[in-house]
Amino acid sequence: MARVIRVRNAASPRDPRETLDVFIGAVGFFAFAFFVITVVCELTGQDALGWALTLLAFVVLLAVLIAARRRMTARRDRARASADGVQRGPAVDDDTAAGRRQR
């Protein structure tokens, strides 16, 4: 009989940012690999246009994934702040918050 081993339980739900982090790591790895290949091809005088275009595609994809993770993190922070009843905004000086002190 096969036993199912669970690493996580229902009390610790999976963070959706973990999936994005894995994709960012994989795409970053391949972007770096294609960067090295492109540089080597350029230095040795071989055709590098295909490698460079592939590198460009990976860099654009990496930028999109990083932007998506930032949006997801910002949305999560806003949700937590509103759930806590804390309104986050720009820092306000005490004099400004209480109204201008009259002299």
- Between CA 72 and CA 27 the distance in angstroms is 18
- DSSP 8-state assignment for residue 100: P
- Residue 70 domain flag: yes
- Output the pLDDT for position 32: 98
Stretch 66-91: mean pLDDT, rounded? 81
- Residue 44 domain flag: yes
Q: How confident is the model at residue 4 (pLDDT cuts 50, 70, 90)?
A: confident
- Residue 7 domain flag: no
93 or 62: which leads in pLDDT = 62
- Residue 90 domain flag: no
- Between CA 61 and CA 18 the distance in angstroms is 17
Mention every residue, 6+ apart, whose C-beta is less than 8 A from residue 62: 24, 27, 28, 31
Q: What is the pTM of this model?
A: 0.66
How many domains does the chain divide into? 1
Q: What are phi and psi of 26, to 5 degrees?
A: -65, -45
Is the CB of residue 53 less than 8 Å from the CB of residue 60? Answer: no
In which domain, by residue range, is 68 found? 17-81
